[in-house]
Amino acid sequence: MNFLQITQQYGEAMLGGLYVTLKLSVIIWVSGIVVGGALGTLGAAFRTSVGDASRVVSVILAGMPALVFLFWMHYPLQAYLEVVIDPFVTAALTLSIINIFLVADLVRGAIVDFPRQYLDAARVSGMTMSDTLFQIQLPLLLRQIIPGLLLIQITVFQMTIFASMISVDEIFRVAQRVNSIIYRPVEIYTLLAIFFIAVCVPLNLFAHWLRIRFTRDYSER
């Protein structure tokens, strides 16, 4: 059975798995960028409270493999709370938490390291706080943050395959199921690899281009 035959026979199932993967990814991306951005901003504004607490959680998450965290959220925590939560919800929540604190670290660091001379120059020039924020600080921060932000989103997108370990029918689990039926691992996992390459490589190249094109070197401070 070749690639075309596999696609024709099991294409519907693979598309179903792809839909679940993309749905999971969108939830993780949106929650991570929105909540993580807000948390990072608050962490920069309140460094000794929100910032320190966020850093502590980030260090703990960094020391724990994502798969272990996912299993802990799915089994021990739910057993302790005596609840049963849909595996999709558990996976979305777990990976969103990871994404939130990765984004928060990125945003907080960019804000804290922002060169003060730009703000001082704006103030001396008579610019209002809102004009300074939207015309100087925010554009420069976005130039610094966006390349790294894209790379983080690629990383958490690749983490979605871990959801298959707790019975979420994303594309990797569907590929495993199809392989158990026809046992064509070379063709099936090559198709899976092509899918991830098709999504991740353009994003990686775009992030690299953004880094070269827009990221400023602040070493003159």
pLDDT score of 6 more than 80: no
Residue 129's pLDDT band, with cuts at 50, 70 and 90, is confident
Instruction: Kindly report, residue by residue over 68-94, the tens digit of the pLDDT.
Output: 999 999 999 999 999 999 999 999 999
Q: Is residue 6 in a domain?
A: no
Torsion of Cα atoms, 38 then 40 then 43 then 44, to 10°: -110
Task: Report the pLDDT value the prediction gives residue 117, as an integer from 0 to 100.
Answer: 85
Average pLDDT over residues 184-194: 86
Q: Is residue 193 in a domain?
A: yes
> Which range marks the domain in which residue 157 is found?
11-214
Instruction: Please check whether residue 149 is in contact with residue 108, taking contact to mean a CB–CB distance below 8 angstroms.
Output: no
Task: Report the pLDDT value the prediction gives residue 220, as an integer from 0 to 100.
Answer: 47
Q: Is residue 172 in a domain?
A: yes
CA 219 to chain centre: 28
Q: Is residue 91 in a domain?
A: yes
Please state the three-class secondary structure of 176-216 as a single string: HHHHHHHCCHHHHHHHHHHHHHHHHHHHHHHHHHHHHHHCC
Q: Is residue 139 in a domain?
A: yes
CA 168 to chain centre: 18
What is the C-alpha separation between 198 and 146, in angstroms, rounded?
20
Q: Is residue 1 in a domain?
A: no
Q: Is residue 2 in a domain?
A: no
* CATH assignment of the domain containing 113: 1.10.3720.10
State the average pLDDT for the chain: 87
pLDDT score of 10 more than 60: yes
pLDDT score of 218 more than 60: no
Q: Is residue 113 in a domain?
A: yes
Task: Quote the number of domains for the chain.
Answer: 1
Task: Report the pLDDT value the prediction gives residue 96, as an integer from 0 to 100.
Answer: 97
Element at 22 (helix H, strand E): helix 3-45
Residue 141's pLDDT band, with cuts at 50, 70 and 90, is confident
